[in-house]
Amino acid sequence: MANVTVLNVNGTDASIDADGERTLLSVLRDDLDLTGSKYGCGEGRCGACTVLLNGSPVRSCQLPVGSVGQRKIVTIESLDQNGQLHPLQAAFLKYDAFQCGYCTCGMIMSGVAFLQKRKNPSDAEIIRFMDGNVCRCGAYQRIVAAIKDAAKSVQGAAQ
Amino acid sequence: MTSLEEFQVEAERYELSEPPRYRFDLDRREFFKLLGGGLVVLCFVGPALGQESGGGGRRGGGQIPTDINAWLHIGEDGAITVFTGKAEVGQNIRTSLTQAVAEELRVSVALVKLVMADTQQVPYDMGTFGSQSTPQMASRLHKIAAAARESLLGLAADHFKVERATLIFADGRISRSDASESVSFGQLTQGQKLVKSVTDDALATPAKDWKIAGTSVPKVDGREFVTGKHKYASDVKLAGMLHGKVLRPSAFGATLESLDTTAAAQMPGVTLVHDGDFVGVTAPDPLGAAHAVDAIRAKWSAKPQPSDAELFDYLRKNATEGGGRGGENSGSIEEGLKSAADKLQATYTVAYIAHTPLEPRAAVAQWEDGKLTVWTGSQRPFGVRSDLAQTFGVPEESVRVIVPDTGAGYGGKHTGEAAVEAARLAKAAGKPVKLVWTRQEEFTWAYFRPAGVVDITSGVAEDGTITAWEFHNYNSGGSGLRSPYSIANQKCEVHNTHSPPLRQGSYRALAATANHFARESHMDELAHAVKMDPLDFRLKNLQDARLRAVLEAAAEAIGWRGATRGGGHGFGLAAGTEKGSYVATCAEVLADKESGSVKVLRAVTAFDCGAVVNPNHLKNQIEGALMMGLGGALFEAVEFDNGMITNPRMAEYRVPRFSDMPKIEAVLIDRKDVPSAGAGETPIMCIAPAIGNAIFDAANIRLRSMPMVPDGLKG
């Protein structure tokens, strides 16, 4: 696969020189030092590597960087703006919705994508959408609470 | 059984008992060179405390050393820094230890910084396991900080030339009683080079007077985690760093017969290392390293090995000779059975399971002038340092292990495999190397929670009194072996396996999970045998007031008395005590015999670990332990055949997900009059038997093997 030389990440075109066969996750972490996205399983089964691609959540551990093209990548690193946390980040803090924190960035990115689609979600909808993200520490109940709480803030901000 | 004896029966823990090789030079110049001027307070661990910290010298044969276990520094700028060898692995010990220090120094938690698990900066520590950080390290930090407070008061008394009793110590300052003047810590420590040590009678604040400890302080560096800024070991990047990968054998214990590295060696930027059975590569990026390893042609030879199908027979047949050991035996089983109205015999089994920490083993290693620095995720930084020093034949002083707050361990990160591998590759490459295990490697080459078989023979009188209790555990270990119930005739023993089929070691709560699954399932069977309510049956045989209290609290919270059963709904409970804490869990399940589906609807745990240090984080631990325990209870099992793991992927090894989540409730019993015990492990013990007992209640099917329903309920 041809080398990839440019990647639109967090609103900026980043210059890279990466074998297109490499995973997007590896390029983000190893070439662009964006280490908030994590390697958890390499199978797309745990969600720790979740980033947004044109607004949709993708498992970056599975995605060859050569297939990304012009699409816009958003990672956890761009979620807070001018020191202001995204409502879902704030809600994770409010509910202590983590323990070791290794799944947290992927959880938040999946949650952010979900909140863009569902403004007033039920627990069941959250659980269905988030089921591909694993928290081995088992903070699921808190994560659901955080997403529900953030939904109110996101909705409030939109109005 | 004491915790010391437990160390002797737990596999993989044998290696945890090495006495410290490295002693920090007590010369005060060393401290101040490292830390700058100010006040240093040291906590010495004398022989008595040394034994507590894991039996350090017991098997070393030598004298148990008096050692420093932690220290606190108040700099000339007033900065408060605490140094401890404990590691943060998600149990939020960084937060709770910070609370202990802030409490005694009467400052906000934001003003206290903890340096943890960096072998160059912190005193020796055996490791972060066994629920010891709270009972030992937190209580020591309370004392250290209380001693610092006393020292500061003395300095302030000199400063104001008044009696120290007249001074007010609050909000990070020391004031005259009339509030006319006050002084900061930094003003007092300016120009000082004071070293104090803690004596056993240092006056720590009693729990009933706590204002910061005992409260729900949020994770102290939580913002770093939600913004992705926190650097785990796997996130560390050094200039010129390469990526490493190791060629794995074809099976456990396999030896290398032949090797062809021609193709790999020709790949650009690849360095090959072949040293005995160790074969690895470095490359500029992880994919390059993976391609190079794929290009290596190797032949391995391995011996035939048992499969999971024969596991439980294997564990019995390969028990070490000389019978079991470790239990507290009393009375006569024979006599007890004679006086029983009902006798039961049953066997329970638990499978091997994998810790599956979401951050796999990872390390970054760098050699500079013969000195090695390794960043890695581990619960035993000093143990990893010893491994590295021995492996490379360098003095421990030449090795620095830094453990950034880690992506979980659950007892699964006591070893330093990735550290050794990265260091070997870095040595060959002459550049820093990062090595991150794949999930498949983690599922295969890490160690597992031991599988086990438990045989129980019991007798019960017509009135529900247990008359005999004989309990034999094969292979899984001695934690939680002894029954907390009052039984006149009992015999409880552990039988180790001389050659376990898989590499096995510590797992959150160790064998207590297996032993509670067996015991509390069997208690339920006995209750049904004499047609008693399982709660009443337990209470009849139970004297321990704290255990009775959690049992009653959990039952009350789930509405045990008068709960509506039927329609596939069932309720189960289980209780136990370990490591100074008390737990009872009640579960409600919905079991459908037709479809085979089992859904845990509710799980309530009542927990007493003495004085609660951080209620919200304690609830988080309990909730998390229930979720994690639910996986082992229902569906987690490592499958293996002839020296290989056959389900080494997330797609094949099922861990609990959002959709498995019951409604979870944690009921805390806060005993301010009792010292705090650890809480990371014990809450996992009772979820499996509570679920099993609830399934029996719902469907009249008794499940005696964990996982209970990997393929659904079969009746």
Is the per-residue pLDDT at B33 higher than 90?
A: no
Domains belonging to chain B, first-starting first, are 3-225 (3.30.365.10), 233-302+361-436 (3.30.365.10), 318-353+448-706 (3.30.365.10)
Residue written as token pair 């390697």: A39
Selecting from B624, B658, B659 the residue whose C-beta is nearest the C-beta of A137 gives: B624
Contact A141 B656 (CB under 8 A): no
Domain ranges in chain A with CATH number 3.10.20.30: 3-78
Is the per-residue pLDDT at B709 higher than 80?
A: yes
Q: For residue B46, what pLDDT is reported?
A: 59
Residues of A in contact with B683 (CB under 8 A): none
Is the per-residue pLDDT at B294 higher than 60?
A: yes
Q: Complex ipTM above 0.90? A: yes
Residues of B in contact with A20 (CB under 8 A): none
Contact B92 A99 (CB under 8 A): yes
- When the pLDDT of each residue in chain B is averaged and rounded to a whole number, the result is 91
Q: Which CATH number fits domain A87-158: 1.10.150.120, 3.40.50.10490, 3.90.25.10, 1.10.357.10?
A: 1.10.150.120
Selecting from A46, A76, A80 the residue whose C-beta is nearest the C-beta of B358 gives: A46
Domain spanning A3-78, CATH architecture = Roll (3.10)
DSSP assignment letter at B273: E
Instruction: Give the best residue of A63, A102, A122 to mutate against chain B (max B CB count within 10 A).
Output: A102
Q: Which of A126, A128, A123 is nearest to A111 (CA)?
A: A126
Answer for the pair B601, B663: CB distance below 8 angstroms, yes or no.
yes
C-alpha B458, offset from chain centre: 32
Is the per-residue pLDDT at B632 higher than 70?
A: yes
Domain ranges in chain A with CATH number 1.10.150.120: 87-158
| pLDDT tens-digit readout, B671-700 | 999 999 999 999 999 999 999 999 999 999
- Across the beta sheet with B38-45, what order do the strands follow? B112-116, B80-84, B67-75, B38-45, B193-197
* pLDDT band of B29, cuts 50, 70, 90: low
Contact B623 A138 (CB under 8 A): yes
Rg (C-alpha) for chain A, rounded Å, is 15
Phi/psi of residue A75, nearest 5 degrees: -115, 170
Selecting from A76, A102, A139 the residue whose C-beta is nearest the C-beta of B407 gives: A102
Residues of A in contact with B287 (CB under 8 A): 19, 21-23, 26
Residues of B in contact with A33 (CB under 8 A): 237
| pLDDT tens-digit readout, B314-324 | 999 999 877 77
Selecting from A77, A99, A131 the residue whose C-beta is nearest the C-beta of B624 gives: A99
Low-confidence ranges of chain A (pLDDT < 70): 1, 156-159
Q: Which of B529, B353, B345, B322 is nearest to B454 (CA)?
A: B345
Q: For residue B269, what pLDDT is reported?
A: 96
* pLDDT band of B51, cuts 50, 70, 90: very low
| pLDDT tens-digit readout, B164-217 | 999 999 988 999 999 899 999 999 999 999 988 887 666 899 999 999 999 999
Mean pLDDT for B493-509 is: 94
Residues 6+ apart with CB under 8 A from B459: B336, B337, B339, B340, B342, B343, B344, B466, B467, B468
Contact B650 A99 (CB under 8 A): no
| pLDDT tens-digit readout, B636-661 | 999 999 999 999 999 999 999 999 99
Lookup: tokens for B169: 């110590």
pTM here is: 0.94
